[in-house]
Amino acid sequence: MAKANNTHQGKLIVFSAPSGSGKTTIVRHLLEQEELNLKFSISATSREKRGQELHGKDYYFLSAKEFKSKIKAGEFLEWEEVYRDNFYGTLKTEVERIWALGKHVIFDIDVSGGLRIKRKFPEQTLAVFVKPPSIDELKIRLKKRKTESADKINMRVAKASAELATAPLFDVIVVNKNLDEALKEAHTLVDNFINKKS
């Protein structure tokens, strides 16, 4: 993936978790820590924009046809068809763009995408699994959001059980029981990984 020129190859920091575990809160916090020199990887998707979402800020919005042609051309680092013609993925150019800025890439990504990145770049990637204290606690958090129906919450909880089974495949598990402690732990892990001599 590195070009023949001197593209700086930074580190890849992956955060994956079941919905409601708090990974997005942790990733946002880490992005605010300037000394970590992180930049967020914007995913591509073929789904419709929601609300105030912007192309190139929240996602790269592509049609299903465009997405499929980029898959064929090998332009994705990882991708997944979540539902029929509903794709999500990470473009190689996005990682190259961030590395060209001299920064490290941080991902807020689903479990299978996170593991695919780790497999492709085993040495350069820190894969962190954010775990809720329990499935019951996860259900409470999802209900508190008040953004989804009971059916949707039950679907997410069922998916979470399968995702939790993959936790041992990650480099490290952060249990988000107390948010302040989880933020500190995540910061230490990322800081140590970035400053480790590769």
Cβ atoms of 19 and 141 closer than 8 Å: no
**Side chain identity at residue 19, one-letter code:** S
Say if 1 falls within a structural domain.
no
Residue 188's CATH number:
3.40.50.300
Say if 3 falls within a structural domain.
no
The C-alpha atoms of residue 163 and residue 145 are separated, in whole angstroms, by 20
- Burial of 198 per CB tally in 10 Å (0-12, 13-18, 19+): exposed
Q: For residue 74, what are the domain limits?
A: 12-195
Q: Which residue has the higher pLDDT, 81 or 2?
A: 81
- What pLDDT sits at residue 38? 98
pTM of the entire structure? 0.89
DSSP alpha helix (H) spans, the chain: 23-32, 64-72, 92-100, 111-120, 135-145, 150-164, 179-195
Task: Read off the pLDDT of residues 150-185 as tens digits, 9 standing for 90 and up.
Answer: 888 888 888 898 999 999 999 999 999 999 999 999
Q: Which residue has the higher pLDDT, 2 or 125?
A: 125
Say if 115 falls within a structural domain.
yes
The C-alpha atoms of residue 156 and residue 4 are separated, in whole angstroms, by 43
- What pLDDT sits at residue 5? 41
- What pLDDT sits at residue 8? 66
- What pLDDT sits at residue 2? 43
Predicted confidence band at 6 (pLDDT cuts at 50, 70, 90)? very low
- What pLDDT sits at residue 142? 86
The C-alpha atoms of residue 130 and residue 35 are separated, in whole angstroms, by 22
Cβ atoms of 1 and 95 closer than 8 Å: yes
- What pLDDT sits at residue 197? 59
Token pair of 122 as six digits? 């085993």
Task: Read off the pLDDT of residues 72-112 as tens digits, 9 standing for 90 and up.
Answer: 999 999 999 988 889 999 999 999 999 999 999 999 999 99
Token pair of 6 as six digits? 């001197």
Say if 4 falls within a structural domain.
no
The C-alpha atoms of residue 135 and residue 157 are separated, in whole angstroms, by 7
Task: Read off the pLDDT of residues 30-63 as tens digits, 9 standing for 90 and up.
Answer: 999 999 999 999 999 999 998 999 999 999 999 9
Say if 64 falls within a structural domain.
yes
Q: If you average pLDDT over residues 120-146, what whole number do you get?
A: 92
Say if 137 falls within a structural domain.
yes
Query: What domain count does the chain have?
Result: 1
Parallel, antiparallel or unpaired: strands 60-61 and 104-108? unpaired
Other Cβ atoms less than 10 A from the Cβ of 171: the count is 14
